[in-house]
Amino acid sequence: MENLKRRHITPDVHQQPSPPVYEQYNPATLIDHNYGDEKNKFAKPLPPQQRVVYSSNKYIAFCQKYHRALIPAGLTLLAFWTRFRQIGLSNIVVWDEAHFGKFGSHYLKNEFYFDVHPPLGKMLVGLSGWLSGYNGSFAFESGHKYPEDVNYTGMRIFNAFWGALLVPLAYLTARQFKMSQRASILAATMVLLDTAYLCISRFILLDSMLMFFTCLSLYCMTVFNNCKNEPFSENWWLWLGMTGFSLGCVLSVKWVGLFVIALVGLNTIEDLWEMLGDVQMPKKTYAAHWLARAVCLICIPTLVYLFSFAMHFLVLYRSGPGDAQMSSLFQARLAGNSFERNPLDLAYGSKLTIKNYGYGGGLLHSHVQTFPEGSKQQQVTCYHYKDDNNHWIIRPPRVIGNPQDYEPENGNVRFVKDGDVIRLIHPPTGRNLHSHPIAAPITSGQWEVSAYGNETVGDIQDNWKVEIVDDLVYKDKERVRSLTTRFRLRHTQLNCLLSANNVVLPQWGFKQIEVTCDKRNRENDPHTWWNVEEHYNDNLPPAPKNAYKSKFLHDFWHLNVAMWTSNNALIPDPDKEDILSSTPSEWPLASVGLRMCGWGDDIIKYYLLGNPAVWWPAFASLLVFLASAGFYLARMQRKIHDLSNAQWDHFLYVGKTLFLGWFLHYIPFCIMGRVTYLHHYFPALYFSILMVPFLLEHWTAKMSNRTQWIVFGIAYVSVIAVFIYFAPVAYGMSGPISNYKGRRWLKSWNLVDK
Amino acid sequence: MRQRRFAWSRSPSRSNRLDPLYLDDKIWKAEQQQKRRLSTNIKSFIKSEPAIVLYLTLWSFYIRLWKIWQPGSVVFDEVHFGGFASKYINTGFFMDVHPPLAKMLIALVAKLAGFDGAFDFKEIGLDYEDANVPYVAIRTFCAVLGALTIPMAYLTMKKTGHSTMSGLLVALMICYENGLITNNRLILLDPILLFFTSATTLTWVNFCDKDKNYKPFNLQWYFWLAMTGLNMGLTASCKWVGLFTIATIGLPTIKRLWDIWGNTDISKLKFMHHFFARSLCLIVLPIAVYMAMFVIHFHSLPNTGEGDSFMSPEFQQSLAGSNSHMSDTPLDIAYGSRVWVRHEGTRGGYLHSHPHEYLTGSGQQQITLYPHKDDNNWWIIEKPRNARRRRPDGPGGIEYVRDGDRIRLVHALSSKRLRSHDEQPPLANDEYHKEVSAHNDEDSRNDRESDWIVDIVAHNENDVDSKYRLRAIHSRFRLRHSTQRCALFSHEKKLPEDWGFGQQEVTCMQNSKLPKTIWYIEANQHSRLGKDVEMVNYNHPNFLAKFLELNKIMWDVNKGLTASHPYDSRPQAWPFLQRGISFWGKDGRHIYLLGNPAVFWSSTFAVVGYILVAFLTVLMEKRGIFDLYNESAARFFITGWCAHYFPFYLMSRQLFLHHYMPALYYAVLLFGSMFDLITIWLTSRKKMMLVIMASYCVIYAYRNFIPITYGEPWSQISCENAKWTRTWDFDCVQ
């Protein structure tokens, strides 16, 4: 509690009227006047108040006066220059431009596609294409040359713009962490001159946007933290809201955004916890703090995320390559799709295709080939593509009850109702959907499903009972409707459920999906749910307009599940060498680079590689922070106080935030099973970069001004010099790669072939 | 007692010399006094601490040992652990995922009871009595160890400052825990593991008691510290679950050291003493104990056995009578050598071919990996016809095979050449896998598809030559295909039993990582090499190498136990006792591992209660209200529960209810602690009433499940009635 109060007070000390004092801010001057401990040798008295004295030279005076705007503006200009320089040099599709450029084209053509990432980043890519006058006609095939009419330079500049903004953000964030100007500019320089950041920003990729929003979130959070002593003020609300908005944007670009959300979340929880200890705070105020954070940090990001998907569905109204990933009902909505003409209610004699509702489910399928083992009857599988062999006709069941029950009623049709027993005939072969107590070919614990007999030959094992799960649009469960009704098919004899669990059949089954009759009776498993996709019946009218309206939230959820599932399916073969992918352990020390395009002599080559003078100190700074924190803690436990309370609080706050930021953006990749690439480390790197000037300043605070300048000078010079040496890897290397072999500092860099 | 009576009987004779009457009176008085003292002594003993411990021990022996001979056949995992006992007696090496101590103890008892190792415990339900297996003795041993946890639980409670009443309640709850009873009565590792776990807990609380007042380093202090370390080592030597016990002790140790460091009255030197004493006793000692168990293990199993195939060839070489025992082989390999090529990345064995064809792809002769010695493993190294000739560089005009050479491998028995071509292999279905077969139809002059390039990727550091030319065992190499840009590869996928004989698939893989493409030559013959050539064999591994290898394999096999079992369960089901395990069933009698619901549910309730109280305490402390509840013993118990429970969530291997038993032990201890907390305001009389009522509930629940605990007969109706929740699936069929 004492600490908390002091932290509230500390900013007051520095709210001096004169800006220059603010500029001289460094950790050593973070003195706590409440703390009158004699032992504190390092606490210096506050420098006497200074009057602002501007230089007599009017230009210098101007700079002194407006340095707050001038420095970020200068950094931004530098960033633009480094990012935009020679941006169109390579006129071929580089690296993942093949994906993201293509997705951008889909937005311009309004065709529905499927991808593992949320839509915001790709919509921005689409926007960049629209702004630069691209019509979406180019296929973005990897390594292909851009045609004349594609203004790829414009698209790249749009992307590089986001990447350039990292530089002023790094400066401003460092300032919010109360670093001196010298240190803050070092932070910005390291971001500016990191070859990896430079390289990844210059192409049509999502990373620059992801980085921008991640860094923006951190910046907003730090500004908000500095508003703590004036809660519920305009500024306070503004930055809290901005934090939430920016979090929503990161999440809508890539799910990696969850990590920065975790960082902000932990910061918020700590904040609220500290406030709980303030016994003087009225309970109402405390509740208001909770509420404000819930609204700004949970509701706003959720809304932004939902909004990005709403836009996504709105823009992509045409049928496209991603249809099959979505529910049948969603597909009915897309222009250029025939489902809209489907008659609504199913009747006996209807011809239909039946889709498995489980994620990645295919259409129930049969073909003349037979099972090589088991019953050796005709195969029944699930198949993902349109084919006449997917068709089935509903027929009355075999020898059950009164045949008249299946005569057409009121006119010429009889509708299928919940609980009806039916038989399904496969029109191309005339066989019936059949199951029997013979083990399925792969999942041997379940019964095999085959196609057997014909219209006259057959037995009661051809009978299936329709059990309606629910209807997505209509409330009642009476009739089975195409697209909207989800139902199970239960085998009447064996009491098992028709299901497809995404098990792939071997070559004899053409690698289609195995269909089994599941005796485990898992009624809640979507893999046992089916819905009708196409429906033909000449006796029935087509469905009325808007009969197949899917709900946004439902589609949203379905798409997110599909993204999650296919993201997790990106598992590499452990025995296969993939020179593009890398493991997280290789990242922090920049011991791996990434060839972003072909490596021939006539191609402009880009090598995604970190600037060693940035990456190595950045990683070292994390270890130094841990060591220093451990050192201080152990000494404090022993009642030796090297820092005043306020200094320690500040040190811990900045170090903890940056370390956690790095940790949360790095460790999850070690656990993930999916394939990982070098650029996954970039958000984590940003946090560790900010740690470098912070620790440099912290440990040089007690040294003379001259020594400080020498230390920082070395840092500046090494970053700049190494950048100049390595700049070609990011700006494009022309000619034979052997010209650059001297830059292969580590053996593990595959810059040149061994 | 006896001592006193002796003194009393002697005393009259000494005083007889004085006045008889007076003496008589005095004697009488003394007699009375002595009698009274005796009776009070007995009375006080009856109520004393040791007596309570004695009663508890005897009573738990009764509960655990009741009808211990029943059932007289193999139950559940007795299949494994009984089986291991017979393997120890037969001294053949075997592989198991558990460390050896508990199994060795079982084997020792079996041996002492006269078991000859002839019975193999092959499946559940095999009869013991016919086979003359001393199973009662082994089960008694397990049950006694299991029963001893009960007095230890009581002593732990007392030592941590709890009331006798809560100590008794805890002891009774553990005594009447059906799951523990079932598990302790059988030939399993759990009773032994639990014994050492609770012994560790007891010795640790004794140590904490000595350490409490900062009066360290005396004999008692060291004794309890060392005993804790010893017990930790023994626990971990039974099952790796013991590592959780080590964590349970480790966390409070770190906390305590941190506090000592913060106590400025204690000099840094003294802190270092604290630190090193603990490191020695709690780290070094357990590791030494654990390793010692493996010394005994290796010593007990000197012979080859069914576990050989899990181990590296070097390890197998150290086993006596090994089938795969290698005799020395010539070191140098030249063109014309007959060789056995062994795969390093897997334990699949030798490159093998036999006169059977693939049913898929090219339909040519199969290439597989075969783990045993066989004449079909022989390959002859030949030079492709069109390859450049070099001058013979070896003795007798032979030409060595050098790094980067292009060679052909000819199967000795069928004279077919190893080759690869653009066909899909039978199992691996990615396009970067190519089929490998044996064939010799083509004109061999132009058959580039059977040319392989030797790339030596690793070599023996002491043999520089093996880097530049192929040498047996010392050179590890890849076989790169000359046209397909792929390397000879094998993985743990078995060809179908019916045409591939369940042997391991061999393919040629493009862009493969190193490990599974590495091969070496194990045996080697060349007609032109004389008798006096340099010979080579596997190095004999030392103990440390064997120890590390075995532990790594135990870890891998353990991780691979992911197959599902009809009675496996996930950790979230355990605290609520959602489901048990069917252990045994015969003639309408069943044994089903099901805990005592009263104990399970109340202990889980205690855990939840503790967490709530602790959370409230932290919350209140933040609000400036201190010392609401701070019970170090309860904190220790919850640490134990967490450490023995949550790690299971991270495991993807198959898990069973009995994995919860150590956590349950701590949960019950925590229940005792919480019981004391709630009843702090009650008089001891009321408290006793409460204990009696609670015990009644526990015993009532226990009696309900006696039939499935001990394998007693049961009527179908009472069996159905005993299914208190729908998820308990014991079999009621008579």
A-B CB pairs within 8 A amount to 42
B360: which chain A residues are within 8 Å (Cβ-Cβ)?
A: 507
Split at pLDDT 50, 70, 90, the class of B734 is low
SS3 of A408-429: the string is CECCCECECECCCEEEEEECCC
Q: Is B566 on the interface with A (CB under 8 A)?
A: no
How confident is the model over B217-256, as pLDDT tens digits?
Answer: 889 999 999 999 999 999 999 999 999 999 999 999 999 9
Task: Tell me if B441 sits within 8 A of B416, measured CB to CB.
Answer: no
A329-338, B125-134, B280-289, B444-453: the lowest-pLDDT one: B444-453
Bridge partners, residue B411, by sequence = B379
CA R_g for chain A: 32
A149-153, A542-546, B380-384, B581-585: the lowest-pLDDT one: A542-546
Residue A498 distance to chain B (closest CA, Å)? 22
A1: which chain B residues are within 8 Å (Cβ-Cβ)?
A: 624
Residues A268-287: what's their mean pLDDT? 92
Q: Is A283 on the interface with B (CB under 8 A)?
A: no
Instruction: Say how far apart CA A25 and CA A19 lie, in whole Å.
Output: 10
* Residue A16 reports pLDDT greater than 50: no
Task: Tell me if B516 sits within 8 A of B346, measured CB to CB.
Answer: yes
A575: which chain B residues are within 8 Å (Cβ-Cβ)?
A: 489, 491, 509, 512-513, 515-516
**Where do the structural domains in chain B lie, given as residue ranges?**
2-47, 54-298+569-721, 329-537
How confident is the model over A209-249, as pLDDT tens digits?
Answer: 999 999 999 999 999 999 988 989 999 999 999 999 999 99
Give the residue from A441, A446, A458 showing the smallest Cα distance to A380.
A441
CB proximity under 8 Å: A 566-625 to B = 573-578
Query: At the topology level of CATH, where does A337-553 sit?
Result: Trefoil (Acidic Fibroblast Growth Factor, subunit A) (2.80.10)
A637: which chain B residues are within 8 Å (Cβ-Cβ)?
A: 258, 261-262
Residue A311 distance to chain B (closest CA, Å)? 38
Beta-carbon separation of B261 and A277 below 8 A: no
How confident is the model over A414-456, as pLDDT tens digits?
Answer: 888 888 889 999 998 999 999 998 888 888 778 999 999 888 8
Residue B179 distance to chain A (closest CA, Å)? 28
Q: How far is CA B450 from the centre of its chain?
A: 47
* Residue A278 reports pLDDT greater than 60: yes
Task: Tell me if A486 sits within 8 A of A357, measured CB to CB.
Answer: yes
Mean pLDDT of all residues belonging to chain A: 87
How confident is the model over B74-128, as pLDDT tens digits?
Answer: 988 899 999 999 999 988 899 999 999 999 999 999 999 988 888 888 888 888 8
Residues B583-588: what's their mean pLDDT? 84
| Pairs from B430-435 (Cβ < 8 Å, separation ≥ 24) | B430/A573, B430/A576, B432/A576, B432/B486, B432/B509, B432/B510, B432/B511, B433/B489, B433/B507, B433/B508, B433/B509, B433/B510, B434/B481, B434/B484, B434/B486, B434/B507, B434/B508, B434/B509, B434/B510, B435/B358, B435/B361, B435/B362, B435/B507, B435/B508
Indicate the burial class of A497 (C-beta count within 10 angstroms; 0-12, 13-18, 19 or more).
Answer: buried
Split at pLDDT 50, 70, 90, the class of A76 is very high
Beta-carbon separation of A273 and B622 below 8 A: yes
Of A576, A637, A639, the CB nearest to B511: A576
10 Å Cβ neighbour count for B5? 11
How confident is the model over B57-73, as pLDDT tens digits?
Answer: 999 999 999 989 888 88
Residues A166-177: what's their mean pLDDT? 96
Split at pLDDT 50, 70, 90, the class of B308 is confident
Task: Tell me if A421 sits within 8 A of A400, measured CB to CB.
Answer: yes
Beta-carbon separation of A279 and B511 below 8 A: no
A576: which chain B residues are within 8 Å (Cβ-Cβ)?
A: 430, 432, 509, 511-513
Instruction: Say how far apart CA B687 and CA B704 lie, in whole Å.
Output: 26
Task: Tell me if B499 sits within 8 A of B355, measured CB to CB.
Answer: no
* Residue B716 reports pLDDT greater than 90: no
Of B360, B429, B512, the CB nearest to A575: B512
Task: Among A536-550, B186-200, B424-438, name the most confident range.
Answer: B186-200
Q: How far is CA B138 from the centre of its chain?
A: 19
Q: Which two tokens stand for residue A429?
A: 């072969």
Residue B361 distance to chain A (closest CA, Å)? 11
CATH of domain B329-537: 2.80.10.50
* Residue B5 reports pLDDT greater than 60: no
A278: which chain B residues are within 8 Å (Cβ-Cβ)?
A: none
Question: CA B51, B53, B55: angle at the middle one, nearest 5?
Answer: 70
Instruction: Say how far apart CA A126 and CA A109 lie, in whole Å.
Output: 10
Beta-carbon separation of A507 and B512 below 8 A: no
10 Å Cβ neighbour count for B81? 24
Residue A313 amino acid letter:
F
Task: Tell me if A658 sits within 8 A of A215, measured CB to CB.
Answer: no
pLDDT of residue A754: 66
Residues B346-356: what's their mean pLDDT? 89
B471 or A753: which carries more pLDDT confidence?
B471
Q: Is A273 on the interface with B (CB under 8 A)?
A: yes
Instruction: Say how far apart CA A471 and CA A353 lie, in whole Å.
Output: 18
pLDDT of residue B718: 86
Q: Using the 8-state DSSP alphabet, how is residue B34 labeled?
A: H
- A435 φ, ψ to 5°? -140, 155
Q: What percent of chain B has pLDDT over 90?
A: 48
Bridge partners, residue B505, by sequence = B368
Beta-carbon separation of B261 and A577 below 8 A: no
How confident is the model over A114-123, as pLDDT tens digits?
Answer: 999 999 999 9
* Residue A21 reports pLDDT greater than 50: no
Q: What percent of chain B has pLDDT over 70?
A: 96
pLDDT of residue A45: 53
Task: Tell me if B321 sits within 8 A of B268, measured CB to CB.
Answer: no
Q: What is the ipTM of this complex?
A: 0.84
Q: Is B509 on the interface with A (CB under 8 A)?
A: yes
Indicate the burial class of A429 (C-beta count within 10 angstroms; 0-12, 13-18, 19 or more).
Answer: middle
A277: which chain B residues are within 8 Å (Cβ-Cβ)?
A: 622-624
Of B261, B429, B430, the CB nearest to A637: B261
How confident is the model over B453-506, as pLDDT tens digits?
Answer: 999 999 988 888 889 989 999 999 999 998 888 999 999 888 877 788 889 999
Beta-carbon separation of B264 and A639 below 8 A: yes
H/E stretch holding A685 reads: helix A682-700
Q: Which two tokens stand for residue A629?
A: 């924190």
A574: which chain B residues are within 8 Å (Cβ-Cβ)?
A: 513
10 Å Cβ neighbour count for A392? 25
Of B261, B512, B622, the CB nearest to A577: B512
The half-sphere exposure of B132 on its side-chain side, counting CA atoms within 13 A, is 5
A283: which chain B residues are within 8 Å (Cβ-Cβ)?
A: none
* Residue A562 reports pLDDT greater than 50: yes
* Residue B680 reports pLDDT greater than 80: yes
10 Å Cβ neighbour count for A283? 7
* Residue A28 reports pLDDT greater than 70: no
Q: Is B492 on the interface with A (CB under 8 A)?
A: no
Q: B13 Cβ partners below 8 Å, 6+ apart?
A: none
CB proximity under 8 Å: A 298-337 to B = none
Disruptive mutation site among A575, A637, A675, A750 for chain B (greatest number of B CBs within 10 Å): A575
How many residues are listed for chain B in this entry? 734
10 Å Cβ neighbour count for A688? 27
Which residue, chain included where needed, has tokens 């919350």?
A: B619
Of A277, A576, A637, the CB nearest to B512: A576
Peptide bond preceding B71 in cis form (omega within 30 of 0): yes
pLDDT of residue B733: 73
Q: Which two tokens stand for residue B482?
A: 């000359």
Residue A42 amino acid letter:
F
Instruction: Say how far apart CA A251 and CA A563 lie, in whole Å.
Output: 14
10 Å Cβ neighbour count for B608? 11
pLDDT of residue A31: 43
pLDDT of residue A693: 96
pLDDT of residue A201: 94
Helices and strands of chain B, counted as H and E runs? 24, 16
A577: which chain B residues are within 8 Å (Cβ-Cβ)?
A: 511-513
Q: Is A671 on the interface with B (CB under 8 A)?
A: no
* Residue B408 reports pLDDT greater than 70: yes
Of A507, A576, A638, the CB nearest to B262: A638
pLDDT of residue A299: 96
Bridge partners, residue A409, by sequence = A413
Disruptive mutation site among B492, B622, B625, B626 for chain A (greatest number of A CBs within 10 Å): B622
* Residue B445 reports pLDDT greater than 80: no
Disruptive mutation site among B430, B508, B511 for chain A (greatest number of A CBs within 10 Å): B511
Bridge partners, residue B489, by sequence = B507
pLDDT of residue B444: 61
Residues A465-491: what's their mean pLDDT? 87
Please tell me the pTM assigned to this model: 0.85
A149 or A664: which carries more pLDDT confidence?
A664
How confident is the model over B500-555, as pLDDT tens digits?
Answer: 888 999 999 988 888 899 999 988 888 887 777 888 888 888 999 999 999 999 99
H/E stretch holding B313 reads: helix B313-317
Q: Is B516 on the interface with A (CB under 8 A)?
A: yes
Instruction: Say how far apart CA B223 and CA B285 lie, in whole Å.
Output: 13
Bridge partners, residue A111, by sequence = A318
Split at pLDDT 50, 70, 90, the class of B443 is low
Mean pLDDT of all residues belonging to chain B: 88
Task: Tell me if A449 sits within 8 A of A514, measured CB to CB.
Answer: no
pLDDT of residue A6: 39
Beta-carbon separation of B511 and A577 below 8 A: yes
CB proximity under 8 Å: A 478-537 to B = 507, 511
What sign does the dihedral A226-A230-A232-A236 (CA atoms) show? Answer: negative
Residue A203 distance to chain B (closest CA, Å)? 28
